[in-house]
Amino acid sequence: MGLQVTRSEDCLIFYGLTPELTKFKDVYNSISEFMEKKQINDPSDRFNLILFLPDGPNYLDHFTFDPNNILSMLKSVEDNISRANIAGGVFVATTFVIEVFKKISEKIFRLLIIIDEGAYKIPAHYLPALEELIKKVKDMPFFIDIIFIGQLDYEERNKLTKLVTLTKGELYEISKIKELNLLLVKLSDKKYITQPIFGQQKIQVIHEENQPFYINLADDPERLNEISTCSICFQQSNEGIVRCPSCHTVAHEVCWAQWAQTSNIGIPHVFRCHNCFNILKLDKTYIINVHAGKIPTIVELNKMEKKNVVDYLRQMEAQSKPQVIQTEDPFAADIRAMIEAKKEEVGVLETKKKRKKKKKTFVSICPNCSKIIVGNKMKCPACGFNLF
């Protein structure tokens, strides 16, 4: 049994159009109208932009309510936009969405990819890694829509179709840039999700095979040994007091356990901080015992009002305007290899062109710092944590 619902949406636009093939001015107005229409439909929708410059992928450090921040970024880098790497862009965009999801709730995330024939194709051996990552996050919920301008070959169409199908998104093919505006107007409509319900209560669902990913993503509350006032029951105590590592909000562990009963993310012992929405976790057995009444609670949590996430996000953006982030393309080495291989093709015998079998690329998450890691590494490159 399910209910078709929609929510406030965070849309990350992947601008992957090649300057030599597509004029910037022909696209600018279409993207502007897309964001304008979405804001008219729902002023709580937010936007971000990812594109490739010579130094790699660039994006804003957080989603913004103001479309002008996106348009200003586009204009400022117009002359330096370079050929897009689809695989690298999808990976960076998805890992960015994971970080946002960790800190906010009640959002639908959409990755809107706009590319043409000039973009670097997805290497076949990287496709399983992208699929593995997307399978983990599609329950957020997370959609991928792709617009391809030009002639798409059979092999690449299959790769892109696999990515959008995983998230119940769509692949759109248009032959001319003039068709983009009408399509973007259509795509400005809300995405709907099927929300399971029991009676009158909505139930968030995380598929069992993906639960370890979200458990790893969650932070453990920090234990305090000093007398503090619980932000939920407002009673002072020095026993069972913990705090959120993100916003330092203090609460009784048992109060948060009761709060988790109605505020978990689809896993009973993984829930969101009632102040900053960061994902937290408690011991699974402890949570079960609290909910079963085996551990006495301090107050009835149903008296506590939930914070409005949109008001919270507007407050945060007012304090800190989005800044452009430049990051590394995780698949750049493969793109460089493709370029070098093409240079060597002329005059090289077919027998010398045999390549070694590529190893499968894996995606994992560091259990210590939550960094997304590509490949079979012994240590996390961010924090040095031993992975094996």
Where are the domains positioned within the chain? 2-194+326-334, 214-303
State residue 2's pLDDT score.
Answer: 53
- 2-194+326-334 belongs to which CATH class? alpha beta
State residue 174's pLDDT score.
Answer: 95
> What pTM value is reported for the model?
0.79
State residue 143's pLDDT score.
Answer: 94
Give per-10-residue mean pLDDT for the chain (388 aa). 72 95 89 95 95 94 95 93 94 93 88 96 90 88 95 94 94 94 94 60 70 92 92 86 93 90 88 90 92 70 60 84 86 73 56 47 64 72 72
Distance CA 256, CA 240 (A): 11
Cβ–Cβ under 8 Å, residues 111 and 151: no
Residue 379 per-residue DSSP state: B
State residue 193's pLDDT score.
Answer: 77
Domains 2-194+326-334 and 214-303 share a fold: no
CB atoms within 10 A of CB 101: 21
State residue 355's pLDDT score.
Answer: 47
Q: Where are the beta strands (DSSP E) in the chain?
A: 2-5, 8-16, 46-53, 56-60, 107-116, 142-149, 171-174, 193-198, 201-202, 222-223, 228-229, 236-237, 241-243, 250-252, 264-267, 270-272, 279-281, 324-326, 363-365, 372-374
Among 3.30.70, 3.30.1490, 3.30.40, 3.15.30, what is the CATH number of 214-303?
3.30.40
